């Protein structure tokens, strides 16, 4: 069996260290340097010849994160690695998954093409914005389910009148999957946007009177949707409102909005590092989930067994 080595890009090292520790090996030594003009250079400081290499890097902005990952893949392939798996906890550009208006790029397909063009043999990611992005790849894709981490936490809260809510129509399937694990009902917050990151109107479909609401989504960006939804749900009589959201992009006024919102708490993962702490934001680590997935890939065991 090939030796396993785990390396990290510069922006996901905090998570990669935990994944490597959970797997039981030290994080590999890679140099990521920059020229004076910002150009990136990647080189491995140890042999990867014949090894099964796992490269960990989320591709949140800036695009340098993606470029780093691609250069590491190329360096590993040129150093005769046996297999190279890119571990992308947060797959950036996933919101650009289709042509929703004329003459627009499909960003998630562009990223897929880029990763495959440099020689990646496998992709491992978690809670894609749209599951069909897996079809953009011609290599194996391990799509991990974050509910494996979030469901035990929700159970630990022992909420009396649990009701799940989707913050928009697009998240109904994801929310229903959560609700089914608890035998609970769900409601939908139907929103209409004036433009990207700006909500024109929102209404609640379903009865939330006296319920403990848990909203479910894959990403939180400016936090406008979840904060407006929390306010609306409380106005409709909800007893408490919290949100479980995998990827904390949290750009612009997001932190201020969350701290001034009607949310009891926002529970997120560590796929993206927080810019600063907030008393309303709780972070759960996905390191154990990714470590187990890496182990199962190496030993050719089932990935779906980790979350079904």
Residues 117 and 10 in one domain: yes
Question: What is the residue-averaged pLDDT of the chain?
Answer: 94
pLDDT of amino acid 168: 85
For the whole model, what pTM was predicted?
0.93
Interatomic CA distance for residues 158 and 145, integer angstroms: 22
Report CA Rg, the chain: 20
Residues 158 and 52 in one domain: no
Nearest CA among 302, 308, 294, 301 for reference residue 15:
294
pLDDT band at 195, cuts 50/70/90?
low
Residues 67 and 113 in one domain: yes
> 279 pLDDT exceeds 90?
yes
Q: 282 an active-site residue?
A: no
What CATH number is associated with residue 77?
3.40.50.2020
pLDDT per residue as tens digits for the range 148-162: 999 999 999 999 999
Residues 79 and 98 in one domain: yes
Residues 178 and 74 in one domain: no
> 196 pLDDT exceeds 80?
no
Residue 109 neighbours by CB under 8 Å, 6+ apart: 97, 136
- The total domain count for the chain is 2
Given 191, 228, 280, 282, which residue is catalytic? 191
The boundaries of the domain holding residue 232 are 147-284
């Amino acid at each position: 069996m090939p030796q396993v080595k785990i390396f990290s890009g510069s922006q996901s090292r905090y998570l990669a260290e935990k994944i490597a520790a959970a797997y039981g090996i030290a994080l590999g030594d890679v140099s990521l340097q920059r020229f004076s003009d910002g150009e990136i250079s990647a080189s491995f400081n140890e042999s990867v010849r014949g090894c099964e290499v796992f490269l960990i890097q989320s591709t949140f902005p800036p695009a340098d994160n993606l470029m780093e990952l691609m250069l590491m893949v190329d360096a590993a392939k040129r150093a005769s690695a046996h297999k190279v798996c890119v571990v992308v906890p947060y797959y950036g550009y996933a919101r650009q998954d289709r042509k929703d208006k004329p003459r627009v790029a499909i960003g998630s397909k562009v990223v897929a093409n880029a990763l495959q063009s440099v020689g990646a043999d496998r992709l491992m990611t978690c809670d894609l914005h749209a599951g069909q992005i897996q079809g953009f790849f011609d290599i194996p894709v391990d799509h991990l389910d974050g509910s494996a981490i979030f469901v035990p936490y929700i159970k630990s809260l022992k909420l009396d009148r649990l009701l799940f809510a989707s913050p928009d129509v697009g998240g109904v399937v994801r929310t229903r999957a959560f609700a089914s694990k608890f035998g609970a009902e769900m409601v939908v917050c139907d929103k209409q946007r004036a433009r990207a990151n700006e909500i024109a109107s929102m209404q609640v479909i379903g009865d939330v009177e006296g319920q403990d609401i848990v909203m479910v989504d894959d990403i939180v960006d400016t936090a406008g949707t979840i904060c407006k939804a929390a306010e609306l749900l409380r106005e409709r009589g909800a007893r408490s409102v919290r949100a479980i959201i995998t990827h904390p992009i949290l750009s612009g006024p997001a932190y201020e909005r969350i701290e001034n919102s009607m949310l009891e708490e926002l529970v997120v993962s560590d796929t993206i590092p927080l810019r600063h702490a907030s008393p309303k934001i709780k972070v759960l680590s996905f390191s154990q989930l990714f470590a187990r997935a890496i182990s199962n890939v190496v030993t050719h065991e089932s990935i779906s067994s980790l979350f079904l």
